Structure 1
Amino acid sequence: MSSEVPDPHDVDAQSVETVRIEDEMEQSYIDYAMSVIAGRALPDVRDGLKPVHRRILYAMHELGVTSRSSHRKSSSIVGETMGDYHPHGDSAIYDTLVRMAQDFSMRYPLVDGQGNFGSMDGDPAAAPRYTEARMAAIAEELLEDIEKDTVDFVSNYDDRLQEPTVLPSSFPNLLVNGSSGIAVGMSTNIPPHNLGEVIDATVELIDNPEATVEDLMEHVKGPDFPTGANIVGRDAIYSAYATGRGRIRVRAEFEVEEWKANRERIVITELPYQANKARMVERIAEDVNEGVIEGISDLRDESDREGVRVVIECKRGANVDVVKNTLLENHLERTFGVINLALVDGQPRVLTLKETLEEYIAHRKEVVRRRSEYDLNEAEERAHILEGRLKALDNIDDVVDLIQDSEDRDAARAGLQTQFDFSEAQAAHIVRMQLGSLTSMESTEIKDEYEEVTAEIERLEAILASESALFDVIKDELLEIKDEYDDDRRTSILEDQGTVTHEDLIPQEDVFVVMTEDDYVKRMPIANFEAQGRGGKGIIGADVKDGDRVTTVFRANTHDYLLCFTNHGQVYQLKTYEIPEMGRTARGKSAVNILDLDPGENITAIVDTDAFGEDEYVTMVTRNGYVKRTAGSTFDNILSTGIIAASLEEGDELVDVDVTDGSKDLVIATEQGMTIRFDEEEVRAMGRNARGVNGIKLQEGDAVAGLASTDEDDDRALLTVTRNGYGKRTLLSAYRTQSRYGKGLIDIKTNERNGPVAAVKAVTEADELVMMSERGQIMRTRASEISTVGRNTMGVTLMDVDSSDAVASVDVIPEGVSDLEEPESGQE
């Protein structure tokens, strides 16, 4: 016999049901999700509240903690709410109460808080035992007439009390105060709006049910955040209102002030909604310390109870526009993602602006109808009683005698009903009447009240009989609330000037770009280099490493798009600001980090795309004397890996590039001092993959040094510079036109003193020249410093080049672009 004692709780199940576990899990998850969606996370479209908000306000209403009462300890309000309506923990209730009291979280706070309720710096509120609260006046408008059977009630969690399923909501709170929440598989993020604008749009929709979103936006300009700031662009607002979803850019309000000589500061006075001010200041400071933001000397938060004030002082000479744009890109602008998701008949729906207001109007229509029915019943009951009192007054002696002769109240009520045909309610009221109410003055007051009640019945019946009359009541009440609580819009709307791009953070300035044979590259402000007289030595412009040498220097604006042609016949597109800015003595950065260059490939010519016009050509010349023209439009879209500009035969290299228009003469110069001039039409336009045609017949050991273009009316001179620093200017008219592929004419003597030709350029007297040596010396001077002489001459000293150095590159800054003062003589 077993000694085990049976467990009294271990009983056989009455029924066993077999289910698939995936089906059970699916249904259980759906039940859980809907519980979260409807019971916690999403607001009701009618009153704009989640259950916890609604229960807090209703608990305060029941406690009598209104705007006219004294403040009550927050812990008391939280306790009553938790004990009677919301048994989900005090911290969740208190956090909600705190948010409803924060004027930086709610556009129109629903709770009037007293004590520490947190700050924009992310500081938490004090414990509920230290703070006090009461309803704000506007919150009472949400509960107005709740006792008149305007909304449905359900049992609370323990069936002791009744709570409302929704509040009457005398204004469209969902749009006015917005809402945010994360449910299961969905979220809502509705921005707050200006009360007056929303009410005007609601009235407009009542008057014109066919109104479009555009019509409603005549009233609702856009979200109106409690922290002010600016919304950038109207298209995103329209998208959010028309579809229920959108991404709105919100930008801080700030201004640039001059506060000392040559110094400016940026003062931030309004922040984007839900921004943490302290964290923002901390991150700006981190970026300043790490060099992400340059030009800031001091940063401090001067905010107080009056408002936000963050001061950012700029260094002397700093470009405040760059500082401002960097701050905008990283700190002062954020995106508010609008998801207008709310519960409609208990189901989540994404709503447009019009649909949101339609749902509110339908709710308000039902509230006013039910309230009118309630008031009508009350008025009819009162009129019925007054009719009995008047009838009793008309028969006062008989009524008094009957009551006196009755044994008790019940007998008196029965006698009145039988003898005078009073209803039960009238008879009961007459029996309770005091003798003092039988005076003639009291009789007059009863008649006056009866007339008032009768008029009220007629008014209520008219409202219930006519939809237009009912809508008039809704509109009048909305406009009364607008008159009481409306205020000025806080958030401004700016026209969209485009997003802040990296380019906006770079000041527009002219720079020198230096490239070396080993593909090191950098840019330097032109202002770092002053003018010198002809024959100067220049100053250090780059510190090249042993075995490397400078190959190219050119002027560009930081915002220019550049076409970089290489010796391998490839072309790359580059924005000047993408080249790192470095000091004069810096070596530069390897170009392979900027351009996808092959080993041994280096840049030999640069074309600024601003030089392109319609029907223009990129004309190229190779070291072996080939020349080709390709339409400029061919280079519009260039891959990051580059594209072919010209096909080269083995051993050949691309040397120089110029932009022509089909009507020019081409001038090709060689290292041994020969030049040839011919009509560019002798070179037919061809595709990028073509090699080109012969341009000049080279002598043994010679190679092409450069290319220039001219025309018959050109009064410019051809500047020729040799590698040993000598050069000359000769009028282009001195070079007669020949047929393509000739030997050409002697341009300059390339003896031991001069060395081979390094570059040729077409210049005017007012142009500026920039010469750079292989060892990194750079010099600026005017073309007018160089004498104009004939062909086949020696030239004069242009740049004092050491015996171990040589001129590597020459660039021309055209007249009107150069900022050179009168040149100084001597060397530096």
Structure 2
Amino acid sequence: MGKRLLPPGSGDGDHIEPVDLKKALEERYLAYALSTIMHRALPDVRDGLKPVHRRIMHAMRLLRLNPDQGFAKCARIVGEVMGKFHPHGDQSIYDALVRLAQDFAVRYPLVDGQGNFGNIDGDNAAAMRYTEARMTEVSVALLEGITEDAVDYRPTYNEEDEEPVVLPGAFPNLLANGSSGIAVGMATSIPPHNAAELCTAALHLIDHPDASVDDLVSREPGDGLVQGPDFPTGGIIIDSRASILEAYETGRGSFRVRARYSVEDQGRGTWNIVVTEIPYQVQKARLIEKIAELLVARKLPLLEDIRDESAEDIRLVLVPKSRTVDPGLLMESLFKLTELESRFPLNMNVLSRGKVPNVLSLKSVLQEWLEHRKEVLVRRSKHRLAEIERRLEILAGYLIAYLNLDEVIRIIREEDEPKQVMMARWSLTDIQAEAILNMRLRALRKLEELEIRKEHDALSSEKDEIERLLASDEKQWKTIAWQVHKVRRDFGPEESPDVGKRRTTFADAPDHDLNDIQNAMIEKEPVTVVISEKGWLRAMKGHLNDHSLFGFKEGDGLKLAFHAQTTDKILVFTTGGKFYTIGVDRLPGGRGHGEPIRIIVDMENDQDIVTAFVHDPARKLLLVSTEGNGFVVPEPDVVANTRKGKQVMNVKLPDEAKLCLPVTGDHVAIVGDNRKLLVFALSEIPEMTRGKGVRLQRYKDGGVLDIKLFAMADGLSWQDSAERTFVRSREELLEWIGNRAAAGRMVPKGFPRTGKFGG
């Protein structure tokens, strides 16, 4: 019989178990989510490390790569980590190792690298067979006491070895170096901070356990408390203390970081801007590429050129278009469009007590770190106590041996089982008897007895000291405060100014008018805006006065043409009483017939354009509907920020918005379809931001035909069909002057047949 291809019992279908798919997926996805959250993406609040980093530190300690020892190949370290502790790809381990060595990625590097470990341009590190590494002093602080039962161990993935669950963490690593990671359904993002400031805040918390987050955040630069993030690449944070405080209280927020720049005088009135620090985690090469792209696309009209003159330090030279450019405006436009300003998120989602993912405040993070330090102190003290007790037991045995030296020698020489005899004779313990039997002959000198007595006394006093420490909560916190002081001294600006000094500073963002910044991003050029009868828009280059040059589609013609600049905004008023705002730079060019307005903004199909003009915030407008209602509105109030436009005049069909005029003079002349004219004071029309308006003239039937605003001192003028101008003074207009909403009288002699005022 040939080999069976099917397992025994297959084919009859009896062994198949039905599984609820929803339940199975929930269980399996939850297991995956939990593993990602706990063992990959979120750092532990106590030592600020994810498992991969912790395993790298542990492996480097086992390889004895201390700061005062030589370097080892990174391939060796990665092999050790992968083979014993971390069952993942070597590339992921090496990437994590490289990042711990990059001084532009980590505020206090945990790895001292030798060789090419990448750069701020985003270039990769050399392969792990070429690079070498060892630990830094920060790593030593994180591992301090690990051999003294300071932390729990757990079996490694193949259960052949053990690894620490968490490191003792004498250094406030979580906040000092920050962390970022994306788990399942949650993420974490913590910026780096200044270690000296964190230690000061922790000491304040030890002295005042009830302190609020407000008490831990700096009020003035000299108080040494936490001012805010301190990025390895420097930069300037432009958030207020209030928003920084809120972020630290809730554990969620963000920080706006800007590049640091200075204006360099080039002589003869010319200057360049030199950028010396860029925001954290921005790749310099990518940043320059983006600015170059914007230059080509003519989105940065104030900038002429960008040069990268960086060596060890960053030096980006920005050349302005001309010496008259305002450096502040140039930089504001760059901050708006490029990563010279970036937002770094804060989401302090960490494994609280190493078990529960939780978003913590600044105070909670420091509190949990201090609680961990206390636990480490107690465990190390107990471990030391057990060691002392073991040693004291042996020393007591030695002293008995010295007092009865001749007898001990006799027993060892003559008895078959000297150990049992000695234990019975002097009530020795097994350990004491074993120690006596293992003594060397040279240790029998008289001096040795003195040494043992000395050691016994010293250990006894140390034992008393530790017992007092373990019995007193106050003494424990005093010891922790001393340890934190030491960390602040070692990693603060006094002992190591290169690393300890704050790099990121704080400033308020300069106030520039938003319109100025907007305009700084658009190249200013004269154009002629052309609007056709059917609502097609375009912008022709230059200020054109000969309208016969404009071509239109068949059945379409010119409705409006006016001069503008590319930095202007145009307001479009429709029959539905809506205003739309369109930037002239967004209008299609003069080639072809342009685009229909309905593509540019969301305008209803049953509405038409009444008029369009260049926005002037200083003006007021008079809006009039067909039925003769109207009101005055300040022009800034009609600007719409979205494609949907802004409803300003409320009209219901068959009534429609009919006229929109800039307000001038002090009187209004209105004429209806019935050729009746009414003149009244402009002050009778109310000013509103939105509404139906008030009645301007009364009609039996028909509506408004035309309206004119004028100054009574200059008189009312109109033009007839032969383009002759007529002017009527106040005296000549007396019979037409009345109150708003009157019917008016038939137009005077010489008034145009069209019923419109003309010029």
71-80 or 451-460, larger mean C-alpha shift: 451-460
Distance apart, 1:467 and its partner CA: 1.6
Taking the aligned partners of 2:662 and 2:369, their CA distance within structure 1 comes to: 69
In structure 2, do the counterparts of structure 1 residues 274 and 352 end up closer, same or farther at CA, with 3 Å as the change threshold?
same
In structure 2, do the counterparts of structure 1 residues 327 and 208 end up closer, same or farther at CA, with 3 Å as the change threshold?
same
In structure 2, do the counterparts of structure 1 residues 436 and 184 end up closer, same or farther at CA, with 3 Å as the change threshold?
same
1:80 matched to 2:80? The reply is: yes
Distance apart, 1:333 and its partner CA: 2.5
1:353 counterpart (347, 356, 362): 362
Q: Which residue does the alignment assign to 1:816?
A: none
The aligned runs of 1:302-341 (5 Å cut-off) are: 302-305=309-312, 307-316=313-322, 320-331=327-338, 332-341=340-349
The answer to whether the 8 Å contact 2:251/2:346 transfers is yes
Matched residue type, 1:375? R
Matched residue type, 1:244? G
Deviations 1:481-503 (A, max 9, x none): 11101212222334467999787
Q: Which residue does the alignment assign to 1:202?
A: 202
Q: Which residue does the alignment assign to 2:579?
A: 572
Q: Which residue does the alignment assign to 1:292?
A: 299
Distance apart, 1:90 and its partner CA: 1.8
Taking the aligned partners of 1:30 and 1:236, their CA distance within structure 2 comes to: 36
Q: Which residue does the alignment assign to 2:374?
A: 365
The answer to whether the 8 Å contact 1:521/1:579 transfers is no
The answer to whether the 8 Å contact 2:178/2:193 transfers is yes
SS at match of 2:609: coil
Taking the aligned partners of 2:295 and 2:483, their CA distance within structure 1 comes to: 54
Taking the aligned partners of 2:262 and 2:726, their CA distance within structure 1 comes to: 53
The answer to whether the 8 Å contact 1:679/1:737 transfers is no
SS at match of 2:275: strand
SS at match of 1:407: helix
In structure 2, do the counterparts of structure 1 residues 208 and 735 end up closer, same or farther at CA, with 3 Å as the change threshold?
farther
Distance apart, 1:603 and its partner CA: 1.4
Deviations 1:366-401 (A, max 9, x none): 1111100011111223333344445555x3xx4235
In structure 2, do the counterparts of structure 1 residues 391 and 126 end up closer, same or farther at CA, with 3 Å as the change threshold?
same
1:249 matched to 2:251? The reply is: no
Q: Which residue does the alignment assign to 1:458?
A: 464
Taking the aligned partners of 2:27 and 2:512, their CA distance within structure 1 comes to: 46
Taking the aligned partners of 1:225 and 1:253, their CA distance within structure 2 comes to: 13
1:658 counterpart (650, 660, 663): 663
Q: Which residue does the alignment assign to 1:18?
A: 17
Q: Which residue does the alignment assign to 1:115?
A: 115
2:238 counterpart (224, 232, 236): 232
Q: Which residue does the alignment assign to 1:220?
A: 226
Matched residue type, 1:283? K
Distance apart, 1:445 and its partner CA: 4.0
In structure 2, do the counterparts of structure 1 residues 709 and 426 end up closer, same or farther at CA, with 3 Å as the change threshold?
farther
Taking the aligned partners of 1:37 and 1:373, their CA distance within structure 2 comes to: 33
In structure 2, do the counterparts of structure 1 residues 318 and 499 end up closer, same or farther at CA, with 3 Å as the change threshold?
closer
Distance apart, 1:412 and its partner CA: 5.3
In structure 2, do the counterparts of structure 1 residues 146 and 206 end up closer, same or farther at CA, with 3 Å as the change threshold?
same
The aligned runs of 1:756-775 (5 Å cut-off) are: 758-759=758-759
1:343 matched to 2:351? The reply is: yes
Q: Which residue does the alignment assign to 1:801?
A: none
In structure 2, do the counterparts of structure 1 residues 543 and 322 end up closer, same or farther at CA, with 3 Å as the change threshold?
farther
In structure 2, do the counterparts of structure 1 residues 717 and 563 end up closer, same or farther at CA, with 3 Å as the change threshold?
farther
Distance apart, 1:336 and its partner CA: 2.6
Distance apart, 1:719 and its partner CA: 10
Distance apart, 1:11 and its partner CA: 7.8
In structure 2, do the counterparts of structure 1 residues 723 and 280 end up closer, same or farther at CA, with 3 Å as the change threshold?
farther
The aligned runs of 1:264-283 (5 Å cut-off) are: 264-283=271-290
Deviations 1:185-242 (A, max 9, x none): 3332222222122222222333333222222323322222222223332455444433
Taking the aligned partners of 1:95 and 1:681, their CA distance within structure 2 comes to: 74
The answer to whether the 8 Å contact 2:101/2:117 transfers is yes
SS at match of 1:228: coil
Taking the aligned partners of 1:704 and 1:8, their CA distance within structure 2 comes to: 95
1:470 matched to 2:472? The reply is: no
Deviations 1:500-524 (A, max 9, x none): 9787322499999965563677899
648-657 or 80-89, larger mean C-alpha shift: 648-657
Matched residue type, 1:214? D
Distance apart, 1:30 and its partner CA: 2.7
Taking the aligned partners of 1:646 and 1:50, their CA distance within structure 2 comes to: 64
Matched residue type, 1:95? D
Over the matched positions of the two proteins, sequence identity in percent amounts to 33
Q: Which residue does the alignment assign to 2:54?
A: 54
In structure 2, do the counterparts of structure 1 residues 460 and 300 end up closer, same or farther at CA, with 3 Å as the change threshold?
same
Q: Which residue does the alignment assign to 2:696?
A: 693
The aligned runs of 1:743-758 (5 Å cut-off) are: 758=758
The answer to whether the 8 Å contact 1:646/1:691 transfers is no
Taking the aligned partners of 1:693 and 1:183, their CA distance within structure 2 comes to: 66
Q: Which residue does the alignment assign to 2:503?
A: 490
Q: Which residue does the alignment assign to 2:221?
A: none
SS at match of 2:118: coil
- Greater C-alpha radius of gyration: 1
The answer to whether the 8 Å contact 1:342/1:351 transfers is yes
Q: Which residue does the alignment assign to 1:640?
A: 645
Distance apart, 1:464 and its partner CA: 0.8
Taking the aligned partners of 1:179 and 1:459, their CA distance within structure 2 comes to: 39
Q: TM-score, normalised by structure 1?
A: 0.73
The answer to whether the 8 Å contact 1:623/1:655 transfers is no
1:479 matched to 2:488? The reply is: no
The aligned runs of 1:583-732 (5 Å cut-off) are: 596=603, 601-603=609-611, 608-611=616-619, 619=622, 628-629=630-631, 640=645, 642-644=647-649, 653-654=658-659, 656-658=661-663, 665-666=667-668, 678-680=680-682, 688-689=691-692, 692-694=695-697, 704=706, 706-709=708-711
Taking the aligned partners of 1:352 and 1:385, their CA distance within structure 2 comes to: 50
Taking the aligned partners of 2:428 and 2:662, their CA distance within structure 1 comes to: 114
53-62 or 22-31, larger mean C-alpha shift: 22-31
Distance apart, 1:570 and its partner CA: 3.4
In structure 2, do the counterparts of structure 1 residues 52 and 703 end up closer, same or farther at CA, with 3 Å as the change threshold?
closer
Distance apart, 1:133 and its partner CA: 0.4
Matched residue type, 1:122? G
The answer to whether the 8 Å contact 2:626/2:655 transfers is no
Q: TM-score, normalised by structure 2?
A: 0.78
The answer to whether the 8 Å contact 1:623/1:704 transfers is no
Q: Which residue does the alignment assign to 1:29?
A: 29
The answer to whether the 8 Å contact 1:233/1:495 transfers is yes
In structure 2, do the counterparts of structure 1 residues 366 and 731 end up closer, same or farther at CA, with 3 Å as the change threshold?
farther
630-639 or 25-34, larger mean C-alpha shift: 630-639
Matched residue type, 2:504? T
| Structure 2: gaps (5+ residues) | 219-224, 493-499, 739-743
The answer to whether the 8 Å contact 2:619/2:663 transfers is no
> How many corresponding residue pairs?
714
In structure 2, do the counterparts of structure 1 residues 732 and 166 end up closer, same or farther at CA, with 3 Å as the change threshold?
farther
The answer to whether the 8 Å contact 1:621/1:707 transfers is no
Deviations 1:761-810 (A, max 9, x none): xxxxxxxxxxxxxxxxxxxxxxxxxxxxxxxxxxxxxxxxxxxxxxxxxx
| Structure 1: gaps (5+ residues) | 530-538, 613-617, 697-701, 711-715, 760-828
Taking the aligned partners of 2:647 and 2:529, their CA distance within structure 1 comes to: 18
Q: Which residue does the alignment assign to 1:545?
A: 550
SS at match of 1:145: coil
Distance apart, 1:81 and its partner CA: 1.9
2:393 counterpart (377, 384, 387): 384
Distance apart, 1:415 and its partner CA: 5.2
